[in-house]
Amino acid sequence: MPEVNGLKMPAKASEKEMKNIHIDPVPDDQKVEVALQHLDEMRKKFRSFVMAMESCVKCGACAENCHTYLGTKDPNNIPTNRAELIRKIYKRYFTLEGRWFGKLVGAEDLTLDVLEQWYSYFYQCNECRRCAMSCPFGIDTCEVTFVGRQILHWLGMVPKLHANVGAAMEKAGNHTGLPKPSLIDTLEFLSEEIQEEFGVEVNFPVDKPDSDILYIPSSADFLLNPYTLMGAGMFFTYIGANWTIPSTVAEAGNFGLLFDQRFTQRHNVTRLLDASQKLGIKKIVWGECGHGWRAAKMYIPTLADRPVKWPIVHLHDETSYYVNTNQLKLDPGKNNHPTTLHDPCNYGRACGMTKQLRDVLSACVTDFREMTPNQEKNFCCGGGSAILFDDPEMYDLRIKFSAKKAEQVRATGVGANGDGYLCAPCSICKAQLYPMVEEHKLGVEVKGLIDLLGKALVWK
């Protein structure tokens, strides 16, 4: 993993990889000028960004509420200090006192070294938004990170992971680049697995015309979380749904939210609407992905190139409805393990999805134990905003970012006997928590919420 002036930095996308997402990297001798042009554009467009730049009094309330700072003790990971990396540039070029008095008022010239700082620390922020809950002014450092990452994207400074995922999504309709034949093969294999393990016949229709439900899974479910995809198939089969998975957008995630909202995120929305129109569906149901659900729920109407005529709901809304109306027969004894629930940040703090998770989980397990704090006040897993880098030192940071979450899990006691469950109803969270539980020796197994529901179903 490269370091610049001692900064821990995720590997950057190459020029070729950047061109795959339609960006020509800006030459170094032009980066500062171009960055300032974009910063000027952002401050004129987003009042939330200007508020973050001009209202912070550096009270420090955000420090003990940020898991990245608690895990690393790096002062630049205190949310107000991370925002200061861009605020001092904002002051220098866009405030009167900054232009007149410079460093005396905390203003600083933009340089290539400062841009490298942005790249390092804006990609250490999980964009979890917990700092906004603790700020007396409601300043959301996530908004600052969004702006910083967008500018870095335009400059051609993007992690390989994000650039390659964006390119795969545009090419294949999912983050892993799986073509339609591979998707179908995997789904046929999962059907056989369900028959063998649960004795139930479940088919996974792909691109089925005139389906009522268009189900959007996370592509990670095809590779890393098979029981999540199996659980979804079992649920839809159990309720007798007329459903299908679209091969052209088999992806609940939307990395555009995390680095390029102007093109990448809009492209993903267009794919979704094209598939919905073509297959004649009546409702879109979203799979287990936190940031993907935030992007779908909050951004599709504003990014769409046409009216959105289909209701868009989450799988957890659907399952909680069927649980609360007693339309599912469930045996929680099938999940007879101490279980705790991790609230994904984008469900709780962005989308108000907390009760639904608990309604379903309580019906599916015998021993549910809450973390403290929980729901919208829960701490991030440390993998939010796709900080899932495998570079040795960045991986070390990932584990440090998860220290607070490990502390929460350990305090519940669910892993005391080595047979506990950590329910993580989000694909990014699962990808982060799989190594986290091993590194911190928590004695728990990571499960999706729909995994546990599928296992608890009692078939007639």
d(CA 345, CA 145): 16
Report the CATH architecture of 24-157: Orthogonal Bundle (1.10)
Map 375-406 to HEC letters.
Answer: HHHCCCCCCHHHCCCCCHHHHHHHHHHCHHHH
Phi, psi of 217 (to 5 degrees): -85, 165
Instruction: Give the DSSP letter string of 15-82.
Output: HHHHHTTT--PPPHHHHHHHHHHHHHHHHHH-HHHHHHHHH-----TTGGG-HHHHHH--GGGSHHHH
404, 379 Cβ separation under 8 angstroms: yes
290, 345 Cβ separation under 8 angstroms: yes
Give residue limits of the domains in the chain.
Answer: 24-157, 163-321, 328-456
Phi, psi of 251 (to 5 degrees): -155, 110
The pLDDT assigned to 5 comes to: 53
SS3 207: coil
CATH of 328-456, one of 1.10.3470, 3.10.450, 3.40.50, 3.10.260: 3.40.50
Phi, psi of 286 (to 5 degrees): -90, 145
The pLDDT assigned to 1 comes to: 43
d(CA 456, CA 459): 10
The first and second tokens of residue 61, run together, are 């309330």
As averages over each run of 10 residues, the pLDDT of the chain (460 residues) reads 68 96 97 98 94 93 96 96 97 95 94 97 96 92 95 98 96 96 98 98 98 98 97 98 98 96 92 96 97 94 93 98 98 98 96 97 98 97 94 92 98 97 98 97 98 96
d(CA 87, CA 92): 9
SS3 369: strand
Residue 23's identity, in one-letter code, is: I
The four Cα atoms 322, 326, 332, 338 give a dihedral, to 10 degrees, of 60
Instruction: Give the DSSP letter string of 222-289.
Output: HHT-HHHHHHHHHHHHHTT--EEB-GGG-----THHHH-TTTHHHHHHHHHHHHHHHHT-SEEEE-S-
239, 327 Cβ separation under 8 angstroms: yes
Between strands 283-286 and 213-216, the pairing is parallel
The pLDDT assigned to 391 comes to: 87
The pLDDT assigned to 7 comes to: 86
